[in-house]
Amino acid sequence: MSSEMQKFQTSEDDDEEMGMDVKEEDDEDDDDDDKNTANQVMVGVEGGFASTSSNNNRFQQHQQYQEQLTPQGSNRRCRPMEEKERTKLRERQRRAITAKILTGLRRHGNYNLRVRADINDVIAALAREAGWVVLPDGTTFPSRSQSTKPAAVTPTTVVTSSSSLMPPQQMSPASLGGMSSSYQSTGEYNACQLKDIFVPCSSPYDVTSNAPSQTSALLAEGLDVHDDSIIGGSMDAVNNRQVVIIPQRLQERDFAGTHYVPVYVMLPLGVISMKCELVDSDSLLNQLRFLKAINVDGVVVNAWWGIVEAHGPQVYNWSGYKRLFQVVRELKLKVQVVMCFHECGGNVGDDVIIPLPQWVAEIGLTNPDIFFTDRAGRRNQECLSWGIDKERVLRGRTAVEVYFDCMRSFRTEFDVFFEDGSISLIEIGLGPCGELRYPSNPVKHGWRYPGVGEFQCYDQYLLKSLRRAAETRGHSFWAQGPENSGSYNSQPKETGFFCDGGDYSGHYGRFFLSWYSQVLVDHGDRVISLAKMAFEGISIAAKLSGIYWWYKSSSHAAELTAGFYNPCNRDGYAPIMAMLKKHEAGLNFTCAGRGMLAQCGDFSGELGDPEGLNWQVLNAAWDALIPVSSENDLPCHDRDGYNHILEKAKPLNDPDGRHLTSFTYLRIGQLLMERQNFMEFERFVKRMHGEAVLDV
């Protein structure tokens, strides 16, 4: 009897497969009749039988019932063979037309469609290109109009298993038998087969990350489920089958055909030794060849003031850099050079120590005011104070003259590399970490995230400048820094200066912050103007750091101590952009990337808003027609991190199509060269270049 039942179920399965192969609307009634019949039979089967005789009786009743559903009862039609052949012919013609459409779209439209794509995939691809969101079940809505989204549906995939009921806490990825977690490119859904479980897997990323994904379920062993509570995402047992909730990931955005954004890779900080010699040239050459093979545009090199002018004023040694540039040029890679007038070591990502020139350190022993100083008198020797930009305290030269002499020496020494275009850009170091900001949050002085930091204006030269500004204003008693601004690790609400309605918004606060921020702008203006003279005809840029913590507070305290006068009622970045625009200089802006966001977690406690800061700075630069480049703040090797960078590099909804002019990846090393990491990086480079990619 059991063998007869198996034959019966097998015949029903064959009918269903035939219905899937021949997709004809006229046959839907037949399929429904088959399913209804099968459901009625399965009710008898799952109900169980008391004895062998009872089984035979029930089976005879079933055969009699089937005879009643024969053509005499007109409930089940027998299609003539001619009609079936016509149906198959129409299906072949439809598939042939679809195949031609897909071939044309792949060849001429750069659409990334799977091999067995159908007309639904074509419509979905066209809708996504038009800015719509298409969910896996076909639900479609505009990406910009959040109000038109469908009713909230739990973003899950329902899978049933005939295994015994397990407690929810025991369910784990291992319990699913190691289901594959790989993903395909946009529009593809990988069919992951696990015993009788069929799971459509989508891509892990979509530009509309807030859009809920619809439930997609294909149930095992012929189970037909219509219970809304299961689709809603609840965990329940249906007919003694376990319901497993699998998160549904969204699709990647397709960057094929988008703007070409050059990708540069930062070389190791210690690629040049303190003796100005190239370190491990053979290993570096092999790594550069790999980068060239995947069409990386070039490399970024730090030119350290502490190496090239280490032993005496205006005594320069560029030998190691010359050898490095020759290697890069032979591989036909471009070079971007960062003129580093700060020390290396003590910051995030610093794996070597490169101090300021020895002769500068000797001057600092007798005159420590050449360095930035906090209110407690602690000196920060990472870079020179901007108060000596016009003070001849460096053996007869001012600080800006020292910077200019070094830049001019570099331009003369590498003239041939400038002439043949090997050097494409010069980034001018303007402060700590090469960034235009005060060293307001030094880790070596005890600062920890998310402290507001401290003002760095207590060396004698900056205090003299503050005194002159106060006397000019007519309030000589304002010639001092704030006394109620807290310490490095204070929060705004703990201080009288940065709290809501605090002194920062009073008469003295506005005067001090205006002077403090203007010193920053004036320093950038002086150094970049001399850089334009030294590198005439060469693109130059300045680097700006994203101080995003406390961005949602009224005072923006961390930005204020860093020199950005950007409270809630004032745009503190407009003067900087105006200065860069005057010199036709570019901007390298680095805000918190996905790695930093993951480490810091929720920003509600410190009122941080990296996305808001990123939006403000980028729009301020683009509105001033300033080219903007960027780099990652922490190492990135995963696809989600790369997708985050791509979205920032090529904003989807920008009405003017604005995008980054280049991107610098930090940095080359053994970890990047690992096979899987390098494959992901190659895929990222292609998407930055606007090329179509396949999944890894």
Roughly what angle, to the nearest 10 degrees, separates helices 507-534 and 399-413? 30
Q: What distance in Å separates the CA atoms of residue 560 and residue 510, rounded to the nearest whole number?
A: 11
Secondary structure (3-state) at 542: strand
Mean pLDDT of 207-218: 35
User: Comparing C-alpha atoms, which of 209, 161, 204, 213 is closest to residue 183?
Assistant: 204
Secondary structure (3-state) at 235: coil
> In terms of DSSP bridges, do strands 298-304 and 334-340 run parallel, antiparallel, or are they unpaired?
parallel
Of 502 and 65, more confident: 502
- For residue 660 the two structure tokens come to 């980054």
Q: What distance in Å separates the CA atoms of residue 551 and residue 572, rounded to the nearest whole number?
A: 12
> CB under 8 Å to 66, separation ≥6 — which residues?
37
pLDDT of 101 > 80? The answer is: no
Is residue 201 within 8 A of residue 184, CB to CB? The reply is: yes
Q: 679-683 contacts: CB < 8 A, separation 24 or more?
A: 680/637, 680/638, 680/639, 680/642, 681/294, 681/637, 681/642, 682/294, 683/639, 683/642
Of 2 and 502, more confident: 502
Least confident residue range of 232-236, 450-454, 559-563: 232-236
What is the per-residue pLDDT across 335-344, written as a single tens digit (0 to 9) for each?
Answer: 999 999 999 9
Secondary structure (3-state) at 394: strand
Is residue 503 within 8 A of residue 484, CB to CB? The reply is: yes
- For residue 252 the two structure tokens come to 């990647």
> In terms of DSSP bridges, do strands 263-266 and 662-665 run parallel, antiparallel, or are they unpaired?
parallel
pLDDT of 23 > 80? The answer is: no
What is the per-residue pLDDT across 587-624, written as a single tens digit (0 to 9) for each?
Answer: 999 875 544 444 445 555 678 899 999 999 999 999 99
> H/E element holding 335?
strand 334-340
* pLDDT of res. 107: 66
> CB under 8 Å to 470, separation ≥6 — which residues?
476, 477, 478, 479, 511
Dihedral sign for Cα 102, 108, 114, 115, please. positive
Which residue in this structure is represented by tokens 């598939």? 95
> In terms of DSSP bridges, do strands 263-266 and 371-373 run parallel, antiparallel, or are they unpaired?
unpaired
User: What is the length of the chain?
Assistant: 696
Strand partners, 247: 156
- Other CB atoms within a 10 A radius of the CB of residue 533 amount to 11
* pLDDT of res. 250: 57
Strand partners, 647: none
Is residue 484 within 8 A of residue 497, CB to CB? The reply is: yes
* pLDDT of res. 141: 74
pTM recorded for the entire structure: 0.66
Would you state the torsion angle of the CA atoms of residues 111, 115, 118, 121, taken in this order, to the nearest 10 degrees?
-40
Active-site positions?
Answer: 435, 631
Q: What distance in Å separates the CA atoms of residue 543 and residue 428, rounded to the nearest whole number?
A: 8
pLDDT of 152 > 80? The answer is: no
Of 351 and 696, more confident: 351
Least confident residue range of 229-233, 284-288, 324-328, 645-649: 229-233
> CB under 8 Å to 141, separation ≥6 — which residues?
132, 133, 148, 149, 150, 211
Is residue 225 within 8 A of residue 238, CB to CB? The reply is: yes
- Count CA atoms within 13 Å of residue 332 on its CB side: 4
Report residue 294: phi and psi, to 5°.
-100, 15
pLDDT band at 70 (very low <50, low <70, confident <90, very high): very low
* pLDDT of res. 41: 38
Amino acid at 374: D
pLDDT band at 675 (very low <50, low <70, confident <90, very high): very high
pLDDT of 406 > 60? The answer is: yes
Report residue 449: phi and psi, to 5°.
-60, 135
Q: Tell me the CA distances in angstroms from 434 to 2, 304, 588, one per residue in order.
A: 79, 11, 11
DSSP notation for 147-215:
GGSPSP---EEEEEE-SPP--GGG--GGGGTS------STT--EEEEETTEEEEE--S--S-TTSPPPP
* pLDDT of res. 447: 95
Of 607 and 406, more confident: 406
Is residue 551 within 8 A of residue 492, CB to CB? The reply is: no
- For residue 633 the two structure tokens come to 């703040």
